Amino acid sequence: MSKESLIKQARQAVIDGDEEAAEAVAKMVIAEGINPVEIINEALTPAMTEVGDGFANEEISLPGVLIAADAMTKAIEILEPHISADEVPENMGTVVIGTIEGDIHDIGKRIVATMLRVYGFEVHDLGRDVPIDVFVEKVKELKPDIVGTSS
C-alpha cells in the first residue's frame, strides 16, 4: 500500500475517532517499512489539529475530541517503538508534565507528552489530578528543563 494511502487512512481514522482503524493503519505502516515519524507528522498531528479546530468552531463536541485523541494515542503507541534512533534527536531535555489537582482532564497533556517524546524529550508524565506538592518534589528531584501543567 502506498504511503499516501496510509497517510490518508491514518488521518481519517483519527478524525473519525476509530481506534481499531488507527491501530490497523499503524501496523500497516510498520509492515510496509514506512517511517513512523512521517505518519505522525503528515497524518496524525494534522488530523488532531483539524479535530481541535472543529472543536474551537463548535463543529465537534468534547467527547469527539477525546475519542479522536484516543485513536491517535493508540496509533502512536504502535509507531513509537519503531522510530529509528537516527530519527530521534539526542535528549533534547527533560520535561515534567501533569494535570493539576482538581482536574481530571488530560487530553491536551497526553498529546503534548507524546509529541515531546517523539521529538527526543525525556518526559515524566505525572498523570492527572496531581497535587502541587507532587509536582514540586518531582521538579526538585529531576531539575527538568521544562515543567508543563494543565488545568
Report how far residue 29's alpha carbon sits from residue 74's, in angstroms, rounded to the nearest whole number: 14
**pLDDT beneath 70, residues of the chain:** 85-89
pLDDT value of residue 109: 83
Tens-digit pLDDT profile for residues 109-126:
877 887 787 777 899 999
What domains are there in the chain, each with its CATH number?
1-87 (1.10.1240.10), 89-151 (3.40.50.280)
Note the pTM of the prediction, 2 decimals.
0.73
| Sheet hosting strand 121-125, strand order edge to edge | 121-125, 93-99, 146-150
pLDDT value of residue 52: 87
Three-state DSSP state, 23 = helix
CB 93 within 8 A of CB 124: no
How far is CA 150 from each of CA 84, 101, 103, 136, rounded to the nearest angstrom?
A: 30, 10, 8, 15
pLDDT value of residue 78: 93
pLDDT value of residue 125: 94
C-alpha cell at 14: 483519527
